[in-house]
């Protein structure tokens, strides 16, 4: 059986590696995608890796995951702190959703402490840099065994 995991990325994550390496690390999103594909191959997961700067596109991809994926890992970027629409979209689908962040959002500005998406998600991983993606994929692999 093919086990497909959507790895969804929100706004500004296409800029990784260009600025703020002290917060987000030096890897580009393409580097992280390559890491996820390698980890997915080891875990027996097909990784469908995407990025958008548009909130509604993330909503559409979450809906697509309802039929098209067994689990979702999502770094919603700043939309995690603002978007009730993403909260609702996560609640509207069946596959487990794992929220992840590169940085430890609880050790940063207060406006990053709250995520509206986290209560709708199965769990949240943050603060491990690019390794947060691999931890989220491992969690996804275990959830859908
Ligand atoms: O730590 C994370 O993964 C975040 O989701 C990254 C978001 C931020 O708004 C969240 O609070 C935490 C930012 C995405 C990347 O933004 C950049 C900003 C400057 C340079 C490069 C990327």
125 touches ligand 1 (CB under 6 Å): no
Rg of the chain over CA atoms, in angstroms? 14
Q: Annotated catalytic residue: which of 24, 79, 87, 133?
A: 24
Residues 48-91 have pLDDT tens digits of 999 999 999 999 999 999 999 999 999 999 999 999 999 999 99
With a CB cutoff of 8 Å and minimum separation 6, the contacts of 50 are 6, 7, 8, 9, 61
- Any idea of the CA torsion for 134, 137, 139, 144, to the nearest 10 degrees? -160
Instruction: State yes or no: is 79 an active-site residue.
Output: no
Instruction: State yes or no: is 81 an active-site residue.
Output: no
Residue 134 CB coordination number (10 Å): 21
Q: Which residues constitute the domain of residue 18? A: 4-143
Number of folded domains that form the chain: 1
CATH code, 112: 3.40.50.9100
pLDDT beyond 80 at 8: yes
pLDDT beyond 90 at 2: no
Token reading at 95: 């596959």
Percent of the chain with pLDDT over 90: 97
């Amino acid at each position: 059986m093919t086990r497909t995991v959507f790895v969804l990325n929100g706004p500004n994550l296409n800029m990784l590696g260009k600025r703020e390496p002290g917060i987000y690390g030096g890897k580009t999103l393409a580097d992280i995608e390559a890491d996820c594909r390698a980890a997915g191959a080891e875990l027996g997961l097909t990784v469908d890796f995407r990025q958008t700067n548009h909130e509604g596109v993330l909503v559409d991809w979450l809906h697509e995951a309802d039929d098209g994926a067994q689990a979702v890992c999502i770094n919603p970027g700043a939309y995690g702190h603002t978007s009730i629409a993403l909260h609702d979209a996560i609640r509207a689908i069946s596959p487990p959703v794992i929220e992840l962040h590169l940085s430890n959002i609880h050790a940063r500005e207060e406006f990053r402490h709250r995520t509206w998406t986290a209560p709708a998600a199965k769990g949240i991983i943050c603060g491990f840099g690019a390794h947060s993606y691999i931890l989220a994929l491992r969690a996804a692999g275990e959830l859908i065994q």
